[in-house]
Structure 1
Amino acid sequence: MQHTPARSLSEVYRTLQQAPLETIEELKAFYRKELNEVRGGDRMQRIQMRLRRAYADGIPFKACVMGHRGVGKSTEISRLLAHVRDQFRAIRFSAMTALDPGNFRALDVLLLMMAEVTERTARPVDQGGAGKRPSDQRLREIWDWFATETEMRSQAQDAAMQLEAGAGLPADSLWGKVLGLFANLKSEIKFAATRKVEVVEYRISRLIKLIDIANALLDECNQHLRSSSGHEWLFVGEDFDRAGIPTERTEELFVTYANLFQDLRTHLIFTLPIGLYYSSAAPRLPFPMDCSFVIPDTPVYDPHHKLNRPGSLAVGKVLQARMDLNLFEKNQWLRVAIASGGNLRDLFALVNYAADTAQLRAAAQISATDLDAAIVNLRSDYERRLGQSPYDREVVTYDHKVDRMKRIYAGDQEAQMTDPVMYSLLNSRAVQEFNGQRWFGLHPMVVDILGRQGHLEADGRGRFLGGTI
């Protein structure tokens, strides 16, 4: 990623990458506080305060962070981790890369956490670890839990022999066998669809014992880290709200096996699907209401469909940090900010598409026509999402969705009550949630769609209030 604003259309793709800001250098270059100012405050400040209290009191802190895909959750978490790096070392993992997104089970998350904390604690202090391995007692407990899985243990020993040969460890050491075990488990977890169902069910039947083993391991690893550097481990599980993860997987993890998170003696923060937070299963989530943090959308309109200038300008500040606004023809940067609905993922998608379109005609600026093409492209994506989704918890017809969206657009307070229809609309990003008095609105793309279908009335210029312009 280029860390200076794009000065030509050919550089735009280098700075408007749809990836979270992670490093301090990236945050300094591109993060803009104006977004939180118009969204109703900085949620990460509250989490930071709670984490520092937990560090002082010795009580595990557990929280969830929610918000539409594209509001910047991962970037906000990066900011949080930068602020608490004097007390915490983060073990950060993604459901999309560390797990099998469509087939993971709750047990996989626990095993992954155990593997990561074991390996990272053993790293040298100057590499972020404690420079000390877990005790043989802890390693034996882990190894013995798999005592009946002869195939797994055999594969682990084969992997251990290779690890030991490369590291100069004694042959058949317990440490090597556990490292080999974790290496094979990570591979299995990543490709969970290929494993046998009976293996998964057998492990789940022994979950309570594994939680006891995990807690003893977590206690010891935390003690080692605190003794060596004064830090404690903080797990951050992300992307559990991404498209492609079936609802039953997240509900099993955070609802059916909620006790997994409640019983673990460690600090952890997970990102949850915003729809799950508003579903009927929400009361059974393992995170208390005061530890559930929603990052609202950025308002580009107010509840009466009039332009929210502070919100639109805040989106413009984000854009200005990444590119010279003179790369747009007059007023087009404001237009793209509004068309994005304040969603950064949509903002970057629109600008990248428009910039490519302009380059294909050998232009030096993004014109209204270029942006028109980008809006049509993104609108088509929103139309597809409004159809029947395989990730809806229940079957929701388009007629039901249209009725609910029209009521939300009209400001009907009762329409904001959560049910399967609202759950589906939140997951598809058709409905946005804003700060202040907690109100819901429609994404400008969705306003356009409803208007073109004849569900909304146009103004005197043939435009739909609250839509793209």
Structure 2
Amino acid sequence: MPLKYAGDLEHIYGAFNNHPVAKEDLDAFYKEASTVRGKNPKSRMARLLRNNPDRNEHILFAGYKGCGKSTELNYLDKELTDEFLVLNISIHDELDPVNLEYIELFIIMMERLFVAAVEDKLKISTEYLKSVQLWATSTEINRVSEKYNLSGGLDMGGELSTSMLAKFFGKFRLTAKTSKQFKQVLKTEIEPRLSDLIRHCNDLVAEIQIQLAKKSGKRDLLIILEDLDKIPADRSYDLFYNYVSQLTQIRTNVIYTFPAALFYSNTRYNQIRSHFTQVYELPMIKVVERNGKVSEEGLRLMQEVIKARMDADRLFANPELLNKMIRYSGGVLRDLFLMIQEAADNALDFGRDTIEEEDWQAAFNSLKRDYNSNIADFRDGDKLYEAETYLEILTHLAQSEEKLVLNTEEVMHLRSNLCILAYNNGSDWTDVHPIVKALLRDRNLLA
């Protein structure tokens, strides 16, 4: 859904929808934030991919939810589109991220590779198509296909085509997205033949790479696996720890989004890191300095982001209302957008055509309620994590001058739910989300 500039409060929701800026909207809405973030990972990824044409780069792209990773990847996609065939796969849109099974990633890659071959009119050899047909009609796979009506004519002896196989894997992917029972079938029936599927995936990559060089002059292929940072923590660890060797067997360039909690988990991260060529982090946009003073550069950048999407000078009754939203967002773009949406809705509820002080207060309280629900007892198997422990950690960090924290399990949880945020200002540092500081003050834990 394309973004549209909001000239009135009625159109605020569409201007601040919770989606990354699409490639076609980047010129109008994208704002370069590298100097404020302290790092420019998209530039580094572009150089790595361009300067190493003979290697398969497997890259982890880490960062907090809502910090803008998807938009940065869309920018990278646009920058490389003349040199690479870029397949940007959203796990959130195409699969069920809450119940994701790693096998589904290979199924969707096969689908998208076949679709790309069809769309770009790339000729895939008959020998290769037949080899995939043999896999698809093997005893185990055929048993699944018949039960869920997936074969689509593959076993009927007619002329085999690239589009037919694209539809076949598309049906597999869609059934896995909508059926929990089918996910179990994947593990019992498809997993024993997974090595063959990975081989077919790599052979298809090779076929496409040859055709790209002949047909379009593009140097290589790039697959972006988006939203892997948004799957539940237990599945994220399972995917990147238990199945990382399978995940990195794809013989082309792949970027995997990576959750902040695992990135900062020393033991787990070090075990995962060795499987990837590079890891890049996207820090939060810094709206305060390490000493707590407002970052004028960060404030100005966030104002530019907002003013690219709405007539802020007219729709905020007082410019300080926007500045307060920016400061309390902690640099989390998602939270800033949510506050603006809520404030606009509240204003409309009461017949106002500008955002007033009471609308900002309603938005502030709404976001505070969301974060308050994140600080609660949590049970993981036999282990109980108590809310009091979370509050002690948050209070200590909020009062700390060093702004450093030990990466305990509790801290990993607080990073995952954005109660603790990471910044870069010459060196890495952390702080408590400003909304959470307000919660601590409500509890008389902070002055």
TM-score, with structure 1 as normaliser: 0.86
Amino acid at match of 1:7: G
Residue 150 (structure 2) pairs with residue 120 (structure 1) = no
Residues 219-277 of structure 1, C-alpha deviations (whole Å, 9 max, x = no match): 122212222112222111111222xx322322222111111233220111111111111
Q: How far apart, CA to CA, are the structure 1 residues paired with 2:164 and 2:416?
A: 43
Q: Structure 1 residues 38, 434: closer, same or farther in 2, change over 3 A? A: same
Task: State which of 400, 408, 411 in structure 1 corresponds to 2:397.
Answer: 408
Q: How far apart, CA to CA, are the structure 1 residues paired with 2:182 and 2:150?
A: 19
Q: Is the 8 A contact 1:155 1:184 kept in 2?
A: no
TM alignment of 1:229-378, pairs within 5 A: 229-231=216-218, 232-242=220-230, 245-279=231-265, 280-285=267-272, 291-326=278-313, 327-330=315-318, 331-378=320-367
Q: Is the 8 A contact 1:247 1:393 kept in 2?
A: no
- Which is further off, 38-47 or 194-203? 194-203
Report SS of the residue matched to 2:373: helix
Task: State which of 424, 436, 439 in structure 1 corresponds to 2:429.
Answer: 439
Indicate the residue corresponding to 1:396 in structure 2. 385
Residues 19-75 of structure 1, C-alpha deviations (whole Å, 9 max, x = no match): 111123x11111111x222111321000000110233xx211111212111111110
Q: How far apart, CA to CA, are the structure 2 residues paired with 1:9 and 1:158?
A: 47
Indicate the residue corresponding to 2:368 in structure 1. 379
Q: Structure 1 residues 392, 40: closer, same or farther in 2, change over 3 A? A: farther
Q: How far apart, CA to CA, are the structure 1 residues paired with 2:240 and 2:30?
A: 31
Indicate the residue corresponding to 1:32 in structure 2. 31
Report SS of the residue matched to 1:174: coil
Task: State which of 142, 145, 152 in structure 2 corresponds to 1:160.
Answer: 152
Residue 165 (structure 2) pairs with residue 187 (structure 1) = no
Give structure 1 stretches of 5+ with no counterpart.
124-128, 165-169, 458-469
Amino acid at match of 1:37: T
Task: State which of 75, 78, 83 in structure 2 corresponds to 1:79.
Answer: 75
Q: Structure 1 residues 389, 115: closer, same or farther in 2, change over 3 A? A: farther
Kindly report the root-mean-square deviation, in angstroms, between the aligned alpha carbons of the 2 structures: 2.7
Amino acid at match of 1:241: D
How many residues align? The count is 440
Q: Structure 1 residues 355, 153: closer, same or farther in 2, change over 3 A? A: closer
Q: Structure 1 residues 390, 272: closer, same or farther in 2, change over 3 A? A: farther
Identity of aligned residues (%): 24
Residue 182 of structure 1 and its aligned partner are, at CA, apart by 1.5
Q: Structure 1 residues 200, 63: closer, same or farther in 2, change over 3 A? A: same
Q: How far apart, CA to CA, are the structure 2 residues paired with 1:132 and 1:394?
A: 55
Q: Structure 1 residues 315, 140: closer, same or farther in 2, change over 3 A? A: same
Residues 297-353 of structure 1, C-alpha deviations (whole Å, 9 max, x = no match): 112222222222221221111111111222112211111111211211111110111
Residue 98 of structure 1 and its aligned partner are, at CA, apart by 1.6
Q: Structure 1 residues 386, 342: closer, same or farther in 2, change over 3 A? A: same
TM alignment of 1:422-433, pairs within 5 A: 422-433=411-422
Report SS of the residue matched to 2:86: strand
Indicate the residue corresponding to 1:466 in structure 2. none
Q: How far apart, CA to CA, are the structure 2 residues paired with 1:135 and 1:156?
A: 27
Residues 114-152 of structure 1, C-alpha deviations (whole Å, 9 max, x = no match): 2211232133xxxxx243124323542453265122333
Residue 18 of structure 1 and its aligned partner are, at CA, apart by 1.6
Q: How far apart, CA to CA, are the structure 1 residues paired with 2:164 and 2:379?
A: 41
Moved over 4 A (4+): 1-4, 155-159, 286-290, 389-394, 412-415
Amino acid at match of 2:187: V
Task: State which of 46, 51, 57 in structure 2 corresponds to 1:48.
Answer: 46
Report SS of the residue matched to 1:233: strand
Amino acid at match of 2:418: R
Amino acid at match of 1:121: A
Amino acid at match of 2:135: D
Q: Is the 8 A contact 2:42 2:73 kept in 1?
A: yes
Q: How far apart, CA to CA, are the structure 2 residues paired with 1:109 and 1:223?
A: 23
Report SS of the residue matched to 1:285: helix
Residue 102 (structure 2) pairs with residue 106 (structure 1) = yes
Q: Is the 8 A contact 2:112 2:166 kept in 1?
A: no
